[in-house]
A and B are shown apart, each in its own frame.
Chain A
Amino acid sequence: MSIKSLSRRTFLKLAGAGIVALSFSKPSFAGDTKQNNFFETDIGKARLKLIQARQAGQYKDDKIVREKFKIAASHENPMIKRFYSEFAHHPLSEVSENLLHTHYKARV
């Protein structure tokens, strides 16, 4: 097979693969293999700091809500009590079934 019969795209692919094979450094995105645990992949590791910072923000809000407004669990929200007493009656009521529940659809 002459070099001319290789398409430009195939040539680039082969050349690229060759460069990966020759490299002794641990390539990050380019050489990342599929692993079972996303958080242990290089892509996952690169996102850890951001994920953790935002998660910390969520638990901070949990603390603020409980400290300031004294509402830890959903039923303790006074406005939820109001919603059910003025409108939906109780969980799984007919109003709830009509407005707050749904069904799913196989898409095959």
Chain B
Amino acid sequence: MASKVKTFRGDGGVSSEIGTYRAGELRGIIKINEADCVGCDTCKKVCPSNAISGSMGEKHSINVDKCINCGQCLLNCPFNAIEQMSFVDKVLEKLNDKKTKVVAIIAPAVRVAIGEEFGAEPGTLTVGRLWASLEKGGFFIYDNNFAADQTILEEGTELLAKVAAHAGLKELPVELWGKKITLKIEEFAHNPLPQFTSCCPAWVRYAEIFYPKILPYLSSAKSPQQMSGATAKTYGAKVWGIKPENIYTVGVMPCTAKIFEASRPEFDSAGKFLKKSGMRDVDAVLTTRDLAELLKRKGIDPMKMSEDAGRKPELFKSYSGGATIFGTSGGVMEAAVRFAFHVLSGQSPQAMSPQWDFKSVRGFTKPIASATIPVPLKQEYQKAFGTKELQIKVCVVNGIGTDGAHLKPIVEDVIAGKSPYHFIEVMNCPGGCINGGGQPKHEIELSLWDQLFYAFFKTK
């Protein structure tokens, strides 16, 4: 059974630029409660950005300017001394407001973990019953896996455009759904390779603070959460036949950094597109834990519902196998490679074909996975690229690592111009989003020795 994580009520973002925060951004999403901290130092050992100070036995504290909001400290704290900003109350208010359509954007990793909050084994798949629970609670569904597919179409095409432009092509014909479009790609010759993924908001903030030189390498594609918000209020509003200003979008994320991401000032693109001011793409973010709390307060238990009955591949619910593995390290990479393989080779294997499995890019519990993937080219591309087979070189960073331990050598190679890769996936949390800072927390079992040791600290 999962254990409780303390939360505090979120308010607005900062009123003007301060430190590493821009106006409107949420600051201090993760907080150490000094009363509960015994100074065991565990949090420091898992912090990717070296943001925590305090020696052994002293109260620890977080430097918000370095903090990337990943919540790894919170997950691993043996004393439940670390707290998270929560918007559960705000979302409940919106659910009670009859004229508002509250849309839940459910991330891939939530469906393999939320069951734990209701007594299920870790990894229990909860899709149909999660949708049904949310609908019972008054939400409409925009599965973030649908947005993961949007992300692959955008980010994958962007990657192909860069690779082609760097190979000297000025135009790239892309055939999708039996239709051919020709993309003008000259400008992509100025975008450097390798391309980094941009789905992980902790990694994006890490790059912005510690490696600004790497920013031109990041894919310009938004994260699935932000694509969902922007699409729901434009295309979604049209399909649903409701006013965009009556839509309230709620990210349901395995992640505490997503809470921050939604508050970034540039994420008001639906409003800009529709020429309406004051509209956010994503209005609030709940972690997996927050959603469990909300459902419990409403007396809804997803584990008591049918998993299969509710699983219908409707608009905003239908998703691919590639999309659902976004939540595990190497998943975004594999989804992108599946797409690139189809476009470049022109082949469409059967859905269950092992040709769609690119197991060499799966991170599992390795700190780094890298692979060279041979992709046969269809005739049209053979001429353009001057080869029959493209060797796509990819790398997966499975967790930034303590003080950047996994990531730094990879990024520094890129900056030095020595990187062999075309595409690099970075996920802040070891294992991927499934081990994100917003996921159900389990008691950390301490040895008798540790218990005695910390009891001694606690006497202070």
Contact = CB atoms under 8 A, between A and B. Distances in A.
A46 B95 CA distance: 38
A100 B441 CA distance: 32
Contact of A75 (B204, B328, B342): B342
A81 B176 CA distance: 9
B396 to A, nearest CB: 13
A69 to B, nearest CB: 5
Interface of B: 20, 22, 40-42, 45-46, 55-58, 76, 78, 108-109, 111-113, 121-125, 127, 146, 148-154, 156-158, 161, 174, 176-177, 181, 183, 198, 204-205, 207-209, 212, 215, 218, 220-222, 226-227, 230-231, 234-235, 238, 266-267, 269-270, 272-273, 311, 313-325, 327-329, 331, 335, 338-339, 341-343, 348-349, 351-353, 356, 364-367, 399, 401-403, 405-406, 430-432, 434-435, 439, 442, 444-447, 449-450, 453-454, 456-457, 460
Contacts of B269: 98-99, 102
Given A79-B146, A90-B181, A72 B46 contact: no
Contacts of A65: 319-321, 324
A82 B231 CA distance: 13
B177 A81 contact: yes
Given A29-B42, A43-B42, A104 B207 contact: yes
A13 B453 CA distance: 11
11 contacts: A8-B460, A37-B401, A52-B364, A54-B328, A58-B328, A62-B325, A71-B321, A72-B353, A73-B321, A75-B342, A104-B208
Interface string A77-89: 1111111111110
A106 B402 contact: no
A contact patch SS: helix
Contact of B338 (A43, A74, A100): A74
A66 B350 CA distance: 9
Given A65-B321, A107-B209, A30 B453 contact: yes
Contact of A30 (B40, B198, B327, B402): B40
Nearest to A23: B449
Nearest to B400: A38
Given A38-B367, A100-B227, A79 B450 contact: no
A54 B325 contact: no
A88 B5 CA distance: 41
Q: Say which size band chain A's interface belongs to.
A: 35 or more
Nearest to A104: B215
A40 B316 CA distance: 39
B213 to A, nearest CB: 9
Contacts of A19: 453, 456
A49 B325 CA distance: 18
A73 B342 contact: yes
A100 to B, nearest CB: 5
Q: Closest 8 CB pairs between A and B?
A: A57-B112, A106-B212, A53-B123, A57-B123, A54-B434, A51-B431, A74-B152, A91-B157
Contacts of B42: 29, 32, 43
Contacts of A5: none
Contact of A34 (B174, B226, B321, B403): B403
B320 A38 contact: no
A96 B351 contact: no
A49 B296 CA distance: 27
A29 B183 contact: no
Contacts of B177: 75, 81, 84-85
B142 to A, nearest CB: 11
A82 B403 CA distance: 43
Contacts of A38: 46, 367, 399, 401-402, 405-406, 430
Nearest to A86: B235
A21 interface: no
A102 B335 CA distance: 21
Nearest to A45: B365
A16 B430 CA distance: 30
A36 B367 contact: yes
A50 to B, nearest CB: 5
A9 to B, nearest CB: 7
Interface string A15-43: 11101100101011110101111110101
